[in-house]
Structure 1
């Protein structure tokens, strides 16, 4: 366990079992997020992409959208998604088209080249998902997801 995690975990230790379990879960989520990012970048790398570029391409796979909407769905800032979208357009993986609902907020859409890269990443992801979930009970995975969703809702209710 990293020194930062040990310090943080010690700071929130209590005699309450639920608090200790919550703290351990949050620490595990942070470690998992780091691994998910590294694996995602590893899947994207052979197509010349990154996890961030993959996420933005996937967000417009079925329907073009303004950068602000993409950012909201991904939970990122508009500015960071704008940088990624501009790079995708520069590399001809995406293109901007006029937005009939808003003159200044153009729609980002995936190009055929971008769709091909996206499909290669999605195929690699499917193989990874099949390997890493082999032998796991889908009901337990669903329960874990539902628990994380409930914790997210509760934490979001604490936001100012």
Structure 2
């Protein structure tokens, strides 16, 4: 989250504790997002990947999917996922195959080389998760996830 947005959020202080807590949470989520992105890129780097490439590979690990579907699941634009998918195909980590349901929207699937890279990233992530969650109450983590999910649904209902 940019410093400008953080400053603007702090300027929205109100007399309502819930609004203040909400603003502080949104600020924290923005800072957490930046750290998660940096960590994800750090985990992906030794395999020659990026967080974006890792995310796309993970989306087709179990089942091939069209780029538009992958983009929708990830909450990214189709064009940005198409660019990443094309790079994965060029590096032979994924390939396109015909889609029986749609002539133009080919299916992206992971190759054995891509699966090996994905599994190395997933193993490194699992170790990180074990280290960073040590001593945390799983029920509190689940409550945090549920709360963030509810806020996401409410915010999505505000989209035009």
Paired residue secondary structure (1:12) = coil
Tell me, which stretches of 5 or more residues in structure 2 are unaligned? none
Q: CA deviation at 1:5?
A: 4.8
Q: Give the length in aligned residue pairs.
A: 160
Q: Per-residue displacement from partner, 1:10-60 (whole Å, max 9, x unpaired)?
A: 321101000100000000000000000000000000000000000000000
TM-score, L = length of structure 1: 0.97
Distance between the aligned counterparts of 2:10 and 2:123, measured in 1? Answer: 41
Paired residue secondary structure (1:32) = helix
> Any residues of structure 2 matched to 1:58-137 within 5 Å, and which?
58-137=58-137
Is 1:26 paired with 2:26?
Answer: yes
Is 1:37 paired with 2:37?
Answer: yes
Name 1:46's counterpart in structure 2.
46
Paired residue secondary structure (2:15) = coil
User: Do 2:10 and 2:23's aligned partners in 1 also have CA atoms closer than 8 Å?
Assistant: no
Q: Hey, which of these two has a bigger chunk of strand by percent?
A: 2
Q: CA deviation at 1:8?
A: 1.4
Give the superposed CA RMSD.
Answer: 1.3
Distance between the aligned counterparts of 2:28 and 2:7, measured in 1? Answer: 15
> Any residues of structure 2 matched to 1:143-158 within 5 Å, and which?
143-158=143-158
Q: CA deviation at 1:73?
A: 0.2
Q: CA deviation at 1:136?
A: 0.1
